[in-house]
Structure 1
């Protein structure tokens, strides 16, 4: 349970940092790339013992980590496009609702428990995610033409969580969790750097110290959010559908409360109903493992 709590806190801290990006006008792309580099370095340091490139490339999880790295930064860019074309609420719902994919995967593929209390908790969790994420905002619209973007965010986010579960179950050794996570972030950083270099040919590249500092601040909790999530998934007490439900709903809950207390965000009545349902869903899903 401690790993799950640490994953929730790390992911919620990422939300707070992203809020500060907007406040201090941080270049998101530059900060994200630095973040991936720092997350990669954090994983290498956390591994402790020296690991060679040859060792990494010979691991069964190497190509999976490469693909995940590409998906990580691709989903981030898709989230940005979705926010621009459909609004922040649509992007938030698409990202959070994706927890349905790893839950279904765990129940079908790994034959995880499907007690009545747990199923009710999961259904309430999905409703809570929708209600808490939806905000009334200008420029928020969902048309047939732009439907592809939130759909890709939904699928991509679900693939990330599902793939992490599949990889850690079948390929990642207990002592390789740190370096596996570092490799994912390393590939994401590589794609980001190439993207930045490509953009530098069309417009002048201006690297700001502010963006580097922001990326460093984001990179450490970003690494640990994945590291602790994988650790939680390896624990015998909870199956993956339980972990993903509690993890995603708790992140949404903590992030929303942080927005209220630290950034004075105003919530609509439906958002408060979502928060209440989120608490109920966590209690129900947690009770299902007792």
Structure 2
């Protein structure tokens, strides 16, 4: 449970850091991927992980090429989900974009049930349902943001798919690859996302400012460890438990911290969502 808690705290930290920044998000993301890649390189060097590409038959089901391939795919989906999150915010509003991004956890949950038969207990099913309900309650503002069917059919759907598959690839790594190669996997995840985001910045000729680089460097640390601890959590609990708790828990932390440090007022539905989230986490654990 400690790994899930740490992953959730790291995930919430990313959102809170973005909250205090008005810098260009492509630049922030690029620098964040640089720092996350550097952390991965540090772990590779200190643990000598690069020397584990030659496996004995009893060491792993799948070799290093698979780890690299999955890492690259995950990095691509990470960046795609970010791009479509930005597009969804512009077209459909921040609330709906956030909700569809969070609900992407349904994909790894469904795949884990179908492929690996990771069935939740009755209490955990109740917790999962409450977690999803809390996510929807926090992010829906029907009086402020109205969405047409045309908007929903494209960007929000792709955000849901890309975000969900990004999380699913973390599960695939945890399921089949040796844990000693986790820094290598994360290096290719964040390294790929960095190269793609850097390319976008060059193509769009986006101005790089010091503030954006500083915020990006700060984001890079919790971003790396969010994935690091999430993979660890998946080793001890099923994906159907980890992903909804991870998502709902990060929302809870963001709401509480925003209330305490940023003075944000909570609507009645947000207060109810907080209580529902606490209950869902209790049932899921």
Is TM-score (shorter-chain normalized) higher than 0.5? yes
1:154 corresponds to 2:155:
no
Whole-angstrom CA distance in 2 between matches of 1:127 and 1:52: 43
Deviations 1:1-29 (A, max 9, x none): 221111111111111101111xxx31111
Task: Give 3-state SS (helix, strand or coil) of 2:8's partner.
Answer: helix
Give the match for residue 141 of structure 1: 146
Q: When you count helix as a share of all residues, which structure comes out higher?
A: 2
Deviations 1:156-215 (A, max 9, x none): 111111121012211x21111112112100000000111111112xxxx42211111111
How far does residue 91 in structure 1 lie from its aligned partner after superposition? 0.7
Whole-angstrom CA distance in 1 between matches of 2:255 and 2:141: 12
The answer (yes or no) to whether the contact 1:134–1:271 under 8 Å persists in 2 is: no
Give the match for residue 249 of structure 2: 250
Give the match for residue 197 of structure 2: 192
1:111 corresponds to 2:112:
no
How far does residue 107 in structure 1 lie from its aligned partner after superposition? 1.7
* Count of aligned pairs between the two proteins: 275
Give the match for residue 277 of structure 1: 276
Give the match for residue 81 of structure 1: 87
1:219 corresponds to 2:217:
no
Deviations 1:131-174 (A, max 9, x none): 12224675x2311221111111111111111121012211x211
Whole-angstrom CA distance in 1 between matches of 2:161 and 2:241: 20
Give the match for residue 20 of structure 1: 20
**Structure 2, gaps ≥5 residues long:** 55-62
Structure 1 53/67 Cα, relative in aligned 2: closer, same or farther at 3 Å?
Answer: farther
Whole-angstrom CA distance in 1 between matches of 2:40 and 2:266: 37
Give the match for residue 60 of structure 2: none
Structure 1 50/112 Cα, relative in aligned 2: closer, same or farther at 3 Å?
Answer: closer
1:260 corresponds to 2:259:
yes
Task: Give 3-state SS (helix, strand or coil) of 1:81's partner.
Answer: helix
Give the match for residue 58 of structure 2: none
How far does residue 46 in structure 1 lie from its aligned partner after superposition? 2.1
The answer (yes or no) to whether the contact 1:38–1:219 under 8 Å persists in 2 is: yes
Tell me which moved more, 113-122 or 209-218.
Answer: 113-122
How far does residue 55 in structure 1 lie from its aligned partner after superposition? 5.1
Whole-angstrom CA distance in 1 between matches of 2:70 and 2:94: 30
Task: Give 3-state SS (helix, strand or coil) of 1:145's partner.
Answer: helix
Q: TM-score, normalised by structure 1?
A: 0.89
How far does residue 68 in structure 1 lie from its aligned partner after superposition? 1.1
Structure 1 115/183 Cα, relative in aligned 2: closer, same or farther at 3 Å?
Answer: same
Give the match for residue 6 of structure 2: 6
Let me know the Cα RMSD of the aligned residues. 2.0
The answer (yes or no) to whether the contact 1:68–1:184 under 8 Å persists in 2 is: yes
Structure 1 30/239 Cα, relative in aligned 2: closer, same or farther at 3 Å?
Answer: same
